Amino acid sequence: MDKIYYITLLLDFYGELLTCKQKSVMSRYYFDDCSLNEIAEEHSITRQAVQDMIKRTEKLLKQYEDKLLLVDKYLKRREYVEGLLTELDSLIEKGNSELVNIKDLVKNIPD
């Protein structure tokens, strides 16, 4: 899996467990595409300190994932539901129109 996508998922699931500063640095770096220098300036710290914080925070996020497996479970569930939607599509194509509504309900299963 693409590293940036994976970190984004980790941030989605575990971001609330980070400190305000960790959240801000990670979000500027991964979501807003800011450079290390820009983030360093914003927080009045060195470029090296930003780089260290990003590395440490990534490690922390991965430790949470090792313990709780939220990203892993989410991806497995999503793959399973996609298989189910494909199955529903093939039955709808064969003329089982009652399944159109069911498909919508499956699509909207909350995460």
73-95 per-residue burial string, b: 16 or more CB within 10 A, e: under 16: eeeeeeeeeeeeeeebeeeeeee
73-79: list long-range contacts, CB under 8 Å, 24+ apart. Answer: 74/9, 74/13, 74/111, 75/9, 77/111
Of residues 60-89, those binding its own copies (CB under 8 A)? 64, 67-68, 70, 73, 76-77, 80-81, 83-84, 87-88
- Name the token pair of 98: 């009652």
- Name the token pair of 37: 């220098």
21 binds its own copies (CB under 8 A): no
Residue 111 CB, nearest distance to its own copies (Å)?
7
- Name the token pair of 110: 């909350």
Minimum CB distance to its own copies smaller for 32 or for 66: 66
Minimum CB distance to its own copies smaller for 56 or for 76: 76
- Binding-site ranges for its own copies (CB under 8 A): 13-14, 16-17, 64, 67-68, 70, 73, 76-77, 80-81, 83-84, 87-88, 91, 96, 98-99, 101-102, 105-106, 108-111
